[in-house]
A and B are shown apart, each in its own frame.
Chain A
């Protein structure tokens, strides 16, 4: 408990210091609970997510960093490895390939990388995975960018 708190506090200070360094990620800690974080990440360029801002919710378990944080998308996203309804993310480093050297910041980076390089062979969103697996990249791209416009972009007017 004490250990995870100390480590999260360090990460908090690091985030404050690095704010300018990585403009794609905005990590914010809950005011009252250091085990709850939210992050805003920008959709990577040259992907259907470009221009969107996606919100992530982090729930940090007590044994952290020996156990990975639980991360899910709060913003709706059409991606083969993200559950369309719950926002759950299928990413090896958040499950069995976790290592205590990862930080919340680096997890965000890994999620941005996952958005740019989807893994259609282990899908949580079967419709999206099937589009990619059948080779319909255009169909996938238009679906994904439609949901990006609908859910991840500020409403005009």
Chain B
């Protein structure tokens, strides 16, 4: 490894890595004195720069590491590759693949004051967000941005359409409520009538009046009286059944990742059992396995048996 480059920290007498440094600690080795900024296009120090302003890398020296892969691991792999290719590449002019160049961040944010005279590469125009932020040589990044951008656009569009929707309980526009916590829709699973999450939850949890059938009043939609078993909070209103399904699925998935406080890692008893939306996992991480016990009732129908606990019998006992 005689052709390693000299560690620049070692030259100044202060390399913290000591023996394990990937650069050479032998002062006979050449120093890499090429300015990487100049090679990439512009060096702010200009003629005052203490590094050499050359566009080609000296044959015996290593190319500057690409800007995006600066961690030591990739540097050392670069180093080995370079070792192998050294002989055939020694006279070649080193140039970085264009995909390694970063794009102008001003243009990507919307507008570059230098316009065509900018020394940096300007990205291609994204038609969705109208910014020059698509890297011309990184197809996967472009695709990701386009996807993300379209999703964002859709969300903004949905938000715009949701602005005028009123809650039938408080008669307010839901997205014009005073506090951010109130600016949420409560979706009913079985019908498409809009309410604020606060209003519909208040109504569903209000105390039933005597003679009231809970299923046809409190748990039903206040407008069409269709029975829904749960309410889904959402910041936007949907415009198609697919969007509604997506909102509900995301909500359910989120709840499934939260541990059920009734189940309490197997120490408690969840009244919702197998239909609980929350996670039923034991403290060692394995999930509860639900085995439903089916019983034939007297009428010949099949019913699902509840789990019985000894404490339920003992609790009812009266000891004299």
Contact = CB atoms under 8 A, between A and B. Distances in A.
**A associates with B:** yes
Interface of A: 3, 6-7, 10-11, 14, 63, 65-67, 95-101, 103
A135 B217 CA distance: 34
Interface majority SS (helix, strand, loop, mixed), chain A: loop
Given A14-B171, A96-B213, A97-B212, 13 more contacts: A6-B170, A7-B170, A10-B170, A63-B206, A95-B209, A96-B212, A96-B217, A98-B217, A99-B220, A99-B225, A100-B222, A101-B222, A101-B223
B211 interface: yes
A100 B217 CA distance: 10
Given A66-B202, A66-B203, A66-B206, A100 B213 contact: no
Contacts of A97: 212, 216-217
A3 B217 contact: no
Nearest to B171: A10
A3 B217 CA distance: 21
B104 to A, nearest CB: 51
Considering residues B168, B171, B223, which has the most beta carbons from chain A within 10 angstroms of its beta carbon? Answer: B171
Contacts of B172: 6, 10
Contact of A100 (B168, B209, B212, B216): B168
B248 interface: no
A66 B203 CA distance: 6
Given A63-B206, A66-B206, A101-B222, A96 B168 contact: no
A3 B211 contact: no
Contact of B222 (A3, A10, A14, A99): A99
7 contacts: A7-B170, A7-B171, A65-B169, A66-B206, A99-B222, A100-B222, A101-B168
Nearest to A65: B169
Contacts of B203: 66, 100
Contacts of B171: 7, 10-11, 14, 103
B108 to A, nearest CB: 45
Nearest to A101: B222
A128 B243 CA distance: 54
Contact of B211 (A11, A63, A96, A101): A96
A10 B171 CA distance: 7
Contacts of B212: 96-97
Nearest to B206: A66
Nearest to B218: A99
Nearest to A66: B206
